[in-house]
Amino acid sequence: MDFNTIFRNNQEWVASKLAADPDFFKSLALGQTPEYLYIGCSDSRVTAEELMGAQPGEVFVHRNVANLVISTDNNLNAVMQYAVNELKVKHIIVCGHYECGGVKAAMNPRDLGQLNSWLQSLRDVYRFHREELDAIDDEVLRYDRLVELNVQEQCINIIKIDHVQRAWYTSGFPHIHGWVFDVRTGRLKDLGLDMKKVFRDVKSIYDLMPLHGL
């Protein structure tokens, strides 16, 4: 796709929105009130709004390689603080995807330059669950399972964040969800994680506000 095509597509998109609602962009300019924070992979095949069928203004999005939630990532922390404290999102979604290049790299270690330190967190997930993963003979299924386990671990990382805990104690939100996008079928898979139960199980380790009840 060349640049002329991109701008032509933009003009057509604008025209279609205005045809459906002449005030669409006036309303959009007034601000955003999304109920969802979506944390996904940077992979070009996985576009948050499109796979969710969402419209502009409905989803606050953060993407990085392999959809990681790393405590020292200032970018992620800024997104999380703004989403929880200012936008007051009701749901946080971590969405991985099958056929993830980051996951495959984590299970086949080699020197990847700047990606080495980034993927270390994902290799840690492999280490945590190595016995289960190494017992899966089918390579594709092994990669798929690490995708799911990585989503689970990143959801656990979210419950360690002070902004999230503080919001839970004051409002009960946000709910945290772990999803996987199957690029082979186009379908979303909800992993059915109960993150408040997980938090209760690890509360003595990670609770930053122990005087509150949850």
Q: How far apart are CA 206 and CA 178, in angstroms?
A: 20
Q: Provide the 8-state DSSP code for 60.
A: E
Q: Is 110 a catalytic residue?
A: no
DSSP annotation of 99: S
CA distance 46 to 100: 10
**Of 97, 144, 155, 177, which residue is the catalytic one?**
97
The catalytic residue among 43, 62, 142, 155 is 43
Active-site annotation holds for 95: no
Angle at CA 68, nearest 5°, toward 98 and 156? 100
Could you say which DSSP state residue 85 is in? Answer: I
Catalytic residue among 100, 142, 144, 177: 100
**Which one from 8, 45, 127, 130 is the annotated catalytic residue?**
45
- Do 52 and 62 meet the contact criterion of CB atoms below 8 Å apart? no
Query: Does the annotation count 163 as an active-site position?
Result: no
Q: Given the residues 2, 8, 21, 41, select the one marked as catalytic.
A: 41
CA pair distance 201, 204, nearest whole angstrom: 8
Residues carrying an active site annotation: 41, 43, 45, 97, 100
